[in-house]
Amino acid sequence: MPSRDQYLRGPKIDPRPITGRETIADLVDNAFLAYNAGRLAEACRLFSQRMLVDDATVGMSLTGAMTPAGLGMSTLIPLIEAGFIDWIVSTGANLYHDAHFALGLALHRGSPFVDDVGLHEEGVVRIYDIFFDFDVLLSTDHFIRQVSERPEFQHAMSTAEYHYRLGGYLAEREAALGLKRKSVLSVAHACGVPIYTSSPGDSSIGMNVAEQALTGSQLRFDVSADVNETAALVFDAKVNGGRSGVLIIGGGSPKNFVLQTEPQIQEVLGVSEKGHDYYLQITDARPDTGGLSGATPAEAVSWGKVDPDQLPSAVVCYLDNTVAFPILAAYALATRSPRPLKRLYDQRDRMLRDLGTAYRAARLERDARAEKATARQSS
């Protein structure tokens, strides 16, 4: 048991009065001292001081309707361009709705306290307090189908390859329209950041690809490639003496997909590993309901997803992501210099080969042990 002095060794709560001249970093360090504000301050320092060292590879998962609220442009894109996010697992919906902006289509701030029947009759779509014309969906669908029917899309591919190619065409449209703002997919394309979707059929992008399959398109999402590529990203970070961190915005399927990379390496492929080094989640999901979204980093240790030696530094913030994520980003951008882009998209083939080599070696060793065990039992 810790001693009395150990319990009381934390800094005294003695903040300076707020003057109105504070930066975000000042506010986090001086006023976010306890409760969920305290956890957010811990998250800001974990992300900035430990996860953003040069040899750490940062994977991120993104759920919730963040991009329609503008967080793609305001928050995620600056982190990508600064080299603070190296690979992403997102819901398809976030990528689809972010594409509206690249096509010059408008989303508007509204109110959640409206008559939805009236909205429907007027052809207005609502995401809580965000309104947009139904034609925004039709125009985006048309663009996705036009791009996806091109010859370079007519084969099975990982979602990272699909999003990379789509991001290139969105960048062309942004330039043609003279837009200063950019989309997440076009910036990820430029920065070589691979973006995966764990459930590619569960969004309007997947729905449009499915529509084209009815007319003979050869485009298919290769989910096995997604599993192996994401595992290869993490394996490459760790096997070369680096570290792997995960920034989890929300929960859901993308949270599991970014974390399951370690069980894929350890449990399925049989390659010796210890789990992700850094775990940071911002969520409003509770752990006691048994859902994956609220599952704690301690529970993730039992699956091999998180390195047990690093558990004391894992942080979970129970906060609204539309509030906490911009604060986390602002703190990181204020306190850390940009990192060189890792451009992991460009290295996928090499990393897959390295993972395959390690897997084959581990399988040979496992088979040899099994043969010895069988021989002992039969003798």
| Bridging pattern class, strands 130-133 and 108-109 | antiparallel
379 pLDDT exceeds 70?
no
Q: What is the pLDDT of residue 3?
A: 87
- Residue 364 buriedness (CB in 10 A; 0-12 / 13-18 / 19+): exposed
Higher pLDDT, 213 or 377: 213
Six-digit token pair at 264?
């894929």
Average pLDDT over residues 264-273: 91
Query: How many Å apart are CA 355 and CA 271, to the nearest integer?
Result: 9
pLDDT in tens, 221-253: 999 999 999 999 999 999 988 999 999 999 999
**Structural domain boundaries of the chain?**
4-373
- Tens digit of pLDDT for each residue in 77-87? 999 999 999 99
Q: By percentage, how much of the chain surpasses pLDDT 70?
A: 99
Mean pLDDT, range 288-301, rounded to an integer: 73
**pLDDT tens, position by position, 29-44:** 999 999 999 999 999 9
List pLDDT tens digits, range 118-148. 999 999 999 999 999 999 999 999 999 999 9
* Separation CA 150–CA 294 (nearest Å): 41
Catalytic residue (choose from 182, 238, 255, 305): 305
Is residue 342 part of the annotated active site? The answer reads no
Please give the CATH superfamily to which domain 4-373 belongs: Deoxyhypusine synthase (3.40.910.10)
**282: β partners:** 249, 317
- Contact (Cβ atoms closer than 8 angstroms) between residue 225 and residue 235: no
**Mean pLDDT of the region 156-181:** 96
Output DSSP code: residue 250.
S
For residue 296, give both structure tokens: 């704690």
Q: What is the pLDDT of residue 292?
A: 67
Q: Is the pLDDT assigned to residue 375 strictly greater than 80?
A: no
Mean pLDDT of the 257-267 span: 93
Is residue 305 packed enough to be buried (19+ CB in 10 Å), middle (13-18) or exposed (0-12)? buried
Residue 306 is given by DSSP the state B
The candidate with the shortest Cα–Cα distance to 317, out of 22, 9, 28, 6, is 28
Question: How far, in Å, CA of 324 to CA of 318, rounded?
Answer: 9
Calculate the dihedral angle through the C-alpha atoms of 201, 252, 164, 80, rounding to the nearest 10 degrees.
Answer: 160
